[in-house]
Amino acid sequence: MIKIWFLLVLLSVQDGDPLIYKGIMGYDSEEACLENGALAEKFMMEMEMRKGTGDERIIKMESFCIPFEIFESKKPKGPEVGA
């Protein structure tokens, strides 16, 4: 088993959907996850502002890095992959 850090961003918009969530990706360290969490929050906030959501409503956003163990997978090699 391999431990990853899964990035989850939660978003709530006043007078809108009560909860929107985006699972972003798994990272090999908590530090990498936290760094990307801050970037993801900034990007998502910019997207909401472009849609005009943030101009009229309050947006609450928070990201979490959740430790999770996954199974190690072995990638097939050779030209027969996908054939």
Q: Mean pLDDT, to the nearest integer, of 54-74?
A: 86
Q: What is the mean pLDDT of the chain?
A: 86
CA–CA separation, 6 vs 66, rounded Å?
Answer: 5
pTM: 0.73
Helix (H) or strand (E) holding 75: none
Would you say 65 and 6 are in contact if contact means Cβ atoms under 8 Å apart? Answer: yes
pLDDT-derived band at 56, boundaries 50, 70, 90 = low
What residue segments make up the domains of the chain, in order of their start? 2-69
Q: Mean pLDDT, to the nearest integer, of 9-36?
A: 91
Asked if the model's pLDDT at residue 49 lies above 60, the reply is: yes
